[in-house]
Amino acid sequence: MKVLLVKDYDEMSEKGYELIKEIIETKEEPVISMTTGGTPRGIFKLLVEDIHNGLDISHTTIMNLDEYIGPRNAVYTVRTFMYKNLYDLINVQPKNIFLIDGATEDIKKETNRYKEILQQYGRDIQILGLGTNGHIGANEPGTPFDSTMFLAEHTEATIQSTMKEYNIERNDTPTQMLTLGFTEILEAKKVVLLVSGKHKAKAVKDLLEGEITPDCPASVLRDCENAIVIIDEEAASLLEKTNYL
Ligand code: F6R
C-alpha cells in the first residue's frame, strides 16, 4: 500500500480525482467504482466540472460498492446520492450505470445479480472512504478478511455517522447495507482510500500503525500492492511514525 499525505480535503479530492480522470482518459472501456458520503463529494464536483468542460464519459461504466437497505429514493441511499451529485447534473451519461438495489425483497438474488456484473466489468479503480471505526464499504470491525458481497449490520458508530451526514433522525436511519466484501474490493485493479478530518485520525492511526486485523477493517489494504491511501493533515495528526512522509 502506498501512502500519500496531503494538506487538506481539497488536495485529497484533487489527487483522488486525478487518478479517476487518468483512467477515463486513457482506457477504452473504463470501469470506475465509487463510494458515497462526505469523503467523495469533492471528487464528484471536480468530475461534474470537467464533464461540463468536455470530458467524455460516454465510454465509461460507473458503479458503486454498496447500498443501504431502504426505499430506493430515501435521502440517504447511494442511488439518491449518485443522481444528486453526478447523474442529474450532467447531459452526457456514462455508458453504464450500475447500482445495487437496496429495496430488493430478495437479497440473495440481488447479490448474485451484482456479483455477475462485477465479473463482467473488471473495475479499473475502487474508491473508498474510511469509517471512524475503520470500516470500508460496510465491512465493519470483526468482518473476516475473506468476506464476499453480503448484507452487513451497521455498528452504532456508523449509524451515528449516517445520521449526521444526511441530517436524519435515528428512526429514519438505515441499519443495514448490502456491500462488497473485502474479496471483491481487493479485486479492483487500483484501490484508493481517501481520508480527511480529525474525526478519522484514530482510525488512520490504527490503519497504519496498528496490527493488520479485522478489528481495523481498512488494515487489510496494508498488504495490498495496488492500494493507495490519501490522507490529509488532520486525519494524519495522530501518527507517530514518519516513514510515510
Ligand atoms: C458509503 C461507504 C462508507 C463510507 C464511510 C465514510 O458508500 O461505503 O464506507 O465511505 O463510512 O463516510 P464519510 O465519507 O461520510 O465519512
244 inside domain: no
Residue 141 grid cell? 470491525
**Segment 40-65, tens digit of pLDDT:** 999 999 999 999 999 999 999 999 99
24-28, long-range: CB within 8 Å, 24+ apart, which pairs?
24/55, 24/56, 24/57, 24/60, 25/55, 27/124, 28/59
Degrees to nearest 5, angle at CA 211 with 153 and 189: 70
Q: What DSSP string runs through 85-136?
A: HTGGG-SSPPSEEE---TT-S-HHHHHHHHHHHHHHS--SEEEEE--TTS-B
pLDDT score recorded for residue 242: 66
pLDDT score recorded for residue 228: 98
Q: Is 10 helix (H, G, I), strand (E, B) or coil?
A: helix
pLDDT score recorded for residue 243: 65
196 inside domain: no
> Stretch 28-44: mean pLDDT, rounded?
98
47 inside domain: yes
Return the ligand 1 atom nearest residue 35 CA: 7
Return the ligand 1 atom nearest residue 197 CA: 16
CA of residue 117 to ligand 1 center, whole Å: 22
Query: Which CATH number does the domain housing residue 158 bear?
Result: 3.40.50.1360
pLDDT score recorded for residue 245: 62
> Stretch 73-93: mean pLDDT, rounded?
98
> Stretch 113-128: mean pLDDT, rounded?
98
165 inside domain: yes
pTM: 0.97
* Dihedral sign computed on CA atoms, order 219, 191, 8, 233: positive
Domain housing 60: 2-188+201-232
Q: How does the average pLDDT of the chain come out, rounded?
A: 97
- What are the angstrom distances between the C-alpha of 176 and each of 19, 64, 155, 166? 30, 16, 9, 15
> Stretch 180-196: mean pLDDT, rounded?
98
In this model, does residue 244 exceed pLDDT 80? Answer: no
34 inside domain: yes
**Protein residue whose Cα sits closest to atom 1 of ligand 1:** 36
Return the ligand 1 atom nearest residue 161 CA: 15
109 inside domain: yes
242 inside domain: no
Catalytic residue list contains 66: yes
- Cβ neighbour number for residue 58 with a 10 Å cutoff: 8
**Protein residue whose Cα sits closest to atom 3 of ligand 1:** 137
Q: Which residue ranges have their beta carbon within 6 Å of ligand 1?
A: 35-39, 65-66, 78, 129-131, 135-137, 161, 165
238 inside domain: no
State how many domains the chain has: 1
CA of residue 31 to ligand 1 center, whole Å: 20
**Segment 143-156, tens digit of pLDDT:** 999 999 999 999 99
